[in-house]
Amino acid sequence: MLDTLTSNWNQILEFLKTEYDIQEIAINTWLSPLSVYSVDGNNLTLAYDDDNSMKIKYVNDKYKDFLKMAINDVVGKEFNISICSKSSLKEDISNLSSDMNNSSLVNEQKLSYSNINQKYTFDSFIVGPNNNIAQAASLAVAESPGEIYNPLFIYGGAGLGKTHLMHAIGNYIINNNPNKKVLYASSEEFTNELVSIIRNDNQNQSAINDFREKYRSVDVLLIDDIQFIIGKERTQEEFFHTFNTLFLAKKQIVISSDKPPKDMELLEERLSSRFSNGLTVDIQKPEYETRLAILTKKAEIEHLNIPKEVFNYVVENITSNVRDLEGALTKIVAFSKLSNQNITLEFSENVLSDVINPTQKTITIDLIINTVAEHFSIKKEDIVSKKKNADIAYPRQIVMYLSRILTDETYSNIAKALNRKDHSTIIHGADKIDLDIKNNPQTKDLIDIITKKINPN
């Protein structure tokens, strides 16, 4: 029976998709990674290679009954199913019956009201090691809004896919659970609406009530770039009560930011605490394979014929984020159409010459020392000297900080480059600048300027 189950596993997954209307993205995320591990009489063990308790619990709760029925239909035998990891075969999580309400019809009016961009779906989101946890958590929320990971807090740098995931959640819910009321807004939109009401209708309570009704009557609230409410006391107050109203009603809240709640120093403690109560996941910069998959997918969707060497050139040189990566490809295609020229490697290099510097040097400690010395109009020898006067010590600490964040060098190597015996001096200096950045906007601006000089891209 073990061989029968193993050989029919793909057929079982296909059966789940066609007979029980389980979405392909859900199959690929949750069920395809499972493998048949063992059979003992009527007891079947399915296992993941990785030990991910979040995934195991979710699949037990959501898909165990569907698996049981599909396996019975395909191989003609009913099993008691256990789902676990190969490294730990002791979990026996209680199975909860679930009902999925699937519908392929998209309600255009719902999409318009919800501010959801139909372009951004889970199917068009490229999953890689940099974002797989965020994608899995977002899909879980989309499948069971208000039941799991509430709030879901997604953070990461600009252009890495946070907004894409938020719209994907909205699209999935509107398509598969049309009775749910979904609303997407940036924190800036939330703030501007509130400010407009206060400025123009301060005595009109009905305008405030309408605003609150809009944001507090939904089943799913998606708020993008929450960091922009920092320092806006009235906005934070209003959002705090909106959050509480939805949370107590077990409505789903999804929030995105450029940093985790604990690092948002000026955010009110009561908001930071509530944001941290759910699940916090991050999105990192995509590695080479994911960047290549993103461009390939974009070219496929837009029916673009791009030479392989052009893909490789863009992927190797644009590493900052997904937005810049796709923007580079869009620019190449646009210039090709405008100039009526074929897309070649040479053509692409010329088009992106203002974005990609082919002679750009690898960032090294020595490059950082030279750039900082030039910025402060001092000599490189001063920075690596034993001088302790402030006009030398401060630039030296900046070198320590930038060497830590812009290179992969160890503290010991940084200390050696700066003629310091003890690497604890490097840690202290870097931490001092880090603290200054958090407390002093001028220091942050200074570091940004020097960083741009070191790495214009």
Residue 282: φ, ψ to 5°:
-120, 160
Q: Tell me the HSE value of 106 on the side-chain side, using a 13 A CA sphere.
A: 13
Hey, how many other C-beta atoms are within 10 angstroms of the C-beta on 303? 6
Q: Residues marked as binding? A: 159, 161-163
DSSP string, 283-314: E----HHHHHHHHHHHHHHTT----HHHHHHH
Q: Which residues pair with 156 in a beta bridge?
A: 283
Q: Which residues contact 331 (CB under 8 A, 6 or more apart)?
A: 351, 352, 355
Residue 77 CB partners (closer than 8 Å, separation 6+): 1, 42, 71
The 3-state DSSP class for residue 144 equals: coil
> Collapsing DSSP states into helix, strand and coil, what is residue 221?
strand
The answer to whether the beta carbons of residues 66 and 47 sit under 8 Å apart is no
Q: For residue 167, what are the contacts with CB-CB under 8 A and spacing of at least 6?
A: 116, 117, 119, 120, 121, 184, 222
Annotated binding site for ATP: 159, 161-163
Beta-carbon contacts of residue 116 (< 8 Å; ≥ 6 apart): 167, 170, 171, 174, 182, 184
Read off φ and ψ for residue 157, nearest 5 degrees.
-65, 170
Q: What are phi and psi of 406, to 5 degrees?
A: -105, -10
Return the amino acid letter for 122.
F
Q: Residue 259 burial (CB < 10 Å; 0-12/13-18/19+)? A: middle
